[in-house]
Amino acid sequence: MNAASILKFKGSDVVTSTANRSLLHIAQMLTQHGIGCIVIVGADEKIAGIMSERDLMRAIGQAGPKVLDRPVSDFMTKNVVTARKADTTELLMSEMTVHRFRHMPVVEKGRLIGLISIGDLVRYKSRTWKWKRPLHGSTRGIEQLFWNSLDKDRRQMFRFTTEGTSS
């Protein structure tokens, strides 16, 4: 399974904006479209950055509501990790886990062709897993299916990145 499969399953529409738009405008777009991030593009339509709900909340939390009038370019993530159509779902999950983000633009030949979220990965993966009913309401069966879907290196990396977290 790869990024192209997920885009075929979910579609390739991406909501974009420009770096000169205000944070308030970005917040309104997130709400209007019911999405978690917006890809910021330059005049050449290449990715200039990405702005997530988390980035928006961090900006407001650090500087207060007055930042809503400032341009998104002041707060967006500029070093965007992207995927290619051929990248496997395991690689996408790994990148999102290691870098701690939830949305990954898909780029082919320098052009934005889609966006994949962690939710898209879970939905797509759940279609391919053979679900077993967990015993007595526990999630043990689901957890086991997740671990079995990862190769040995990914399991070790996931354990390392989630060490110290509680469920």
CA distance 17 to 40: 5
Residues of the chain with CATH 3.10.580.10: 3-122
- Please tell me the pTM assigned to this model: 0.74
- Tens digits of residue pLDDT in 83-121: 999 999 999 999 999 999 999 999 999 899 999 999 888
Question: According to the model, what pLDDT value does residue 161 have?
Answer: 46
Enter the DSSP assignment of 19. T
H or E element that contains 114: strand 111-117
Ramachandran angles phi, psi of 50, nearest 5°: -145, 140
Question: According to the model, what pLDDT value does residue 134 have?
Answer: 47
Sheet of 37-41, strands arranged across: 16-18, 37-41, 47-52
CB 17 within 8 A of CB 66: no
Question: According to the model, what pLDDT value does residue 9 have?
Answer: 85
CB 92 within 8 A of CB 104: yes
For 149, other C-beta atoms within 10 Å of its C-beta total 16
- Tens digits of residue pLDDT in 33-46: 999 999 999 989 89
- Tens digits of residue pLDDT in 128-161: 655 444 444 444 555 555 556 665 555 555 554 4
CA distance 142 to 130: 10
Which CATH number among 3.30.200.20, 3.30.1490.190, 3.10.580.10, 3.20.20.210 corresponds to the domain 3-122? 3.10.580.10
